[in-house]
Structures are given as structure tokens and as C-alpha cells.
Amino acid sequence: MARETPAKQKKKTPKKAKSIPKNTKVLVIVESPAKAKTIEKYLGSSYTVKASMGHLIDLPKSRMAIDVDRDFEPEYITVRGRAGLLKELQGDAKKSDLVLLASDNDREGEAIAWHLQNAIAAKVNNVPVQRISFNEITPAAIQDAVAHPGEIDEAKVNAQKARRVLDRLVGYNLSPLLWKKVKNGLSAGRVQSVALRLICEREKEVESFIPEEYWTLDADFKSGKTFFTAQLATWNGEKPDLKTEKDVKAIIDQLAGIACRVADIRETDKTIKPKPPFTTSQLQQAAANRLGFTSKKTMQIAQMLYEGIAMDNSRIGLITYMRTDSVRISQVALDEVRAWIGANYPEDLPEKPAIYAVGKKAQDAHEAIRPTYITYTPDAVRAYLTRDQLRLYTIIWERFTASQMNPAKTKTISIDIQAGKGLFRVSWTKFIEKGFYKVMKVLAGKDEKGGGTYPLLKIGDMVEPVNFFPEQHFTQGPPRYTDASIVKTLEERGIGRPSTYAPIISVLLDRYYVTRSNKQLVPTVLGRLICDILVEYFPLVVNSDFTALMESKLDAVEESQVLWADMIREFYAPFKDRVDEVGKTLESFKRSLDEITDLSCEKCGKPLVKKLGKFGFFLACSGFPECRSTKSIPLGVCPRCGGDIIARKTKGRGKEFYGCANYPECDFITHFKPINQNCPKCGQFMVEKYDKKNGSYKSCINPECDYLHSFDDEESGGPQDDE
């Protein structure tokens, strides 16, 4: 294949072809059946819309298929099981006057279109093949795209090819090394390994953190018939350093019977500006924080909303393309949302539309994520959406609409109460103007909804202390990563792109490198071992700055500023030398995670070994391969029949729960994870529970036993309060 010359480095703008004559028989190929079904309703009878179901041509899974001696040329094949569909599309193309390739307008979509174009050209003569793209699936957007077809963007195809080749070279060199040195079935990836390192390093911080005790002191005050609570803000003019209960009680003793008065009242006005519309990462973060969605679930639901929802006798694409790093909005969308705000909230319509700055690292290929029709309010589409679809659509609609409304204005009243050497402080915040918060229902947090009343006091008024409330606390260590926070970190560091955030997390979970615990990402023993090996022997591969640099180079390929083969060549030679060297010198970790137990095999009586499999630890007979008996690791004793409690998964989504191994004879189940400890009060097993107020704590599984205490409390003298 001929190499590009430097003269071709200038960014190529895809040419626009002539508009399509009437009565032309047109085949439109999209990626998914849902999208095909929606688009078909927007086009006339001369159009046939078919789905490619994603990639039909790709690299083979069984071998590397990259010719490193010929400019890293990839060897593409028809994806297994897709030959029939490809042949069908080629047959449809033969019967058509024109083929329009309408895969997604990103690197992967451009590569799908490029492969289809080549496959059709190889079998069909004299049928023109052109490219169309759109940001939303609405009648106007589809008809405009069809009326103005263009050509495939070769630079975007090269960027996808470079990314695919780069990931294949890394994966197909590192993964066999891990198979040889650790265990079969493992994988290492260019981006996933960096994410794994971030999660493992955070876990080390969590484990090494030593909580420190501290106390706060609140007091109830009375003014006439009004009661309010304030917190000790200063003592002797300095921030109180209350490390023990003794410190707090010493202050309370000094405050006994003391006269208290209002020392100061301050009013502070604040203007809160609305946030820009969602990008992919921001949508995933908001959906995780507000709705409890995983990144994967968010993208699956967003895909449905984008591709089309059945509404009465039509299918409507409710949101624009959901993989984007831009906050840009089209002029048409701005005009529509301003008209809607003017009609419904005229007092909150700014004089000029808000224009948000696009980030330096943004590719800006698509608009921000927004509703396609602002008049389709959440209430208007409620009847057509599932609960989760409605919740996600609601936050997209709210964020976009709010972004073009006036800021909110608040007033905060802070009151200082002088009590001897102490100064107690309390604050209230209320809205002066709600502004964009008028359309916020799901997105607004409790602290953003305002409200609350405050006592009518003036400086010098005397108030009476009614009661003091000392409270013990412990400093909190760094939080584990969640879907939302790892996506935010990856985006901030320039690692990955909008289309890769959700798959990165999914791969780490699927490989059992990471597990979810109370929505937090926790590295497994296997994940830590893999991370340690990669950090020690391949520090460059798991370096976040290096990975971000490679992402920038891929962007440069898309801008025709860098030749993709040159980019790969610069990386590959030193990387391959290092792989070969480590393969010879790295010690084997095979069976290092195996652990002999005191349990015996039910078939042959030999000891059982705790082994690590694809989905976690299990028990296997040490007499393997003569005896192939295996069983799940018992996590507790069933309170009904005395059988083993084991981890199980639901069908479909595969959500983990815990049940009796004697099912179906015994149908005991719990969704709380058992821990290796029995209740000191009733003897049944303990489980891990979690809530936002208390964090993680443990409790007895027995509903008739009130034994409950936090993880940090190792006392076993009796029941504890669920504080």
C-alpha cells in the first residue's frame, strides 16, 4: 500500500456530492435495526434502510493480523457469522441506483462505512456509494443528510485504524505474556491498564489511611418561641481543635449558665450560573450520581433514546448523538429553546443566548447531548418511555433547557452567637430568583432547592442556650473510585474518548480485575497482581501521561497532521523489545493465588483448593485432573436448613445475590454480601450493608436480632444503634 506523503498532511474536508435525483432507488445502510426502523419512516418508498449490525469487517480474533514489516498493515476479514448479512447487503446494493452509508459520525462509524464501501465495490459495479452523517435522528436532519451526501473521511478512517492497530499490538503482546506467567484468559490493554492502575493506587491510599478522631459541638438556642441550632465555629478566636470527648465536655462546662447574644448578622448574595449541556462523560457522571446508573447502563439507554422511541404512529429520536466531548449547540436548537423559554418562563429568558466554551481537548465533531425537540418535555413523553428511559431523558432535557435560562440568585444569612469564649454560627440560604432552577426537578440536589426559615433576630438580641450536642466523628480517607469519578478522572487526564469510558469499566469488571461494592470500584487480588507486574515491567504502558499523549497523536492522525504508520512505528520497536526481554526474565506467578483449604472433596475426599477463575474464586479438588469436582466458596451457614450460603447471579443482567446451595429445596436468599464473621448475639452470619448516611456497616442477617455495628467497631458486648 502506498504511503501518504507530507504534501497530503493538510486536513482534508470531505467533498459534497450532488443532490440525489427524484425516483432514484436508494439503499441506506445504518448500524442498528432500531435506527433503521426510525429512519425508514422519514424517507419515501424509493428508499430501503438496512442495518449492518456494527462492524462486518474487522481484525480476526484468533491472531494479531498486523504486518509489522509492511507499515503495520492490518489484515481484515469478514467477522465470523456476518458473511450472510454482508452478502445480503451486497445483493441489495446491486438492485439499487445509489448506496448511502449512514453509520455513526465518529471514527468507528467512519471505519464501518469504509469497509462497507470497499466490500460493495468488490462485488457491485457501477453503483455509486456515498456517505451521509447526522447528529440527530429527526425528519429534518435525515432528509437534509440524504439531500447532501459526501465522501468518506479517510483521515478519520486512518485514526480508527491507528487506534485499532495500536490496541491490537499492545493486547496481543502483553496478554500472552500474562497467560504464560500468571494464568490463562487474562488481558492487558492500552487504556484499561491505566484505569486499573488508577483504581489500584486509590485502593492503596484507602488502606493506608488511618482515621483520626475529632468532635463537633452543636447547641440549641431559644429566642422567644423560636428554636434554632448553631455549631461552635471558634473558641478563643480560633477554630476549635476538639480531638476527644474530654475536650468537648471541658467547653460545655465553661458554657454552663453563660449569657449568649447575637454578635453579628451577615447577608451574602450569590449568583449561580447554569451549567452547559451534557457531554458524554458529564452525562455518565450525572446519571451515576443522581440516578445510580452504571456508565454502561447510561450509554445503553442513551442509545435507545437516540435511535428512536415508538410514539403513537411514529418513531422519534429523542436526543442527539450521545458520544461527544463538545458543548456546542446548533443555531436551530438555540432558537427553539429560547422560543420555548420565552413562552413558558419569559422572565428567565436572557437577552442573548449563552455560548459555552468548547474544551481544548474536545474534538467538537458533534453537538452537546440535547433533546431533539425541546417541546417534548419529560411530561409529554412520559407515557412512551420506561422508568429508566424517562429518568435519563429528564436530566438531559433539564440540563439543556436550564443552560439557556437566567442564573439563579440566592441570599445567605449567617448569624453569629457569642457565648463567652465561644462563637456559634448558623446559616440559612434562600432563593431570591430561582432562574434556571425552575426547570430543575431531578438534577437539583437538596442543597440546591433552597428553602428553610430563619429567626428574626438583630445584633445585640439575647438568646438562651437550651441544650448542647457533642458529636464524635472520624476523618474520612480518600473515596474509592465510582463509575462517575473514574470517568471524570480519565477525562481530566485526557485518557480515552467519549466512546471508550463505559467499555473500559466493563472490561475491568469482566476480567475480574475489579469488582463493584456499593457502587465503588474495588480491585481484586488478581487485578492488583496484574497492575503490579505492568507497573514494574511496563511503566510506560500504564503511565497516564503517555496514554494521554497517544490519544493526542490519534487526534493528530484524524487532523491529517501525522501519518498513522509513523505514529505506530515510533511506539512499537521499543515496546516489542521490552516484551521479549520481560518474557525471558519475569518469574512465573502461576498458581500463586491458589490456597489449600481444610475442606474435603465430596467425591474423592482429597483437600479442596481455593482457585481463581474467570468470575472469581471457587473451590476445586486438589486431585485434578483425575477428579474434576468444583463448588462455590461457602460464605455462611443458611439459617433455614444449615446449607452453604454461596454467591449466585440473576439471569439476564447477572446481578449478584447470595442464596442457599440447596436450592430449590431451600429458597433462602439475601442481597446483602455475607462477611467472614458470625453474630456474637445469635450466631447467624453477618452481612455488609451500605447507605449514603452511614457508609458501609455490618449487621446480623437475622431480622429478629438487633445486633448492628459499624465496621470500625470491634466490640461485641451487645446491640448497637444504627446511627
Active-site annotation, residues: 321
Q: Residue 81 region, left (φ>0) first, then alpha (ψ -120 to 50), else beta?
A: left
Tell me, what DSSP letter sits at residue 371? B
Question: Cis link prior to 277 (omega < 30° from 0)?
Answer: no
**Total residues found in the chain within this entry:** 723
DSSP of 311-358: ETTEEE--B--S--------HHHHHHHHHHHHHH-GGG--SS---PPP
The closest alpha carbon to 566, from 12, 172, 73, 71, belongs to 71
∠ Cα 354 357 361 (to 5°): 155
Dist. CA 55–CA 81, nearest whole Å: 11
Cα torsion 318, 321, 325, 329 to 10°: value is: -60
Using CA atoms, how far residue 159 sits from 114, 150, 154, 367, 527, in Å, is 13, 19, 9, 20, 30
Dist. CA 56–CA 93, nearest whole Å: 15
How large is the angle between the packed helices 501-510 and 192-208, nearest 10 degrees? 70
Distance, first Cα to last Cα, the chain: 69
Dist. CA 688–CA 672, nearest whole Å: 6
Dist. CA 475–CA 200, nearest whole Å: 22
Residue with cell 432547592: 449
Burial 596-623 (b: 16+ CB within 10 A, else e): eeeeebeeeeeebbebbeeeebbbbbbb
Dist. CA 302–CA 457, nearest whole Å: 51
Report whether 9 contacts 288 (CB < 8 A): no
At residue 380, the 3 state secondary structure works out as: helix
Residue with cell 436448613: 641
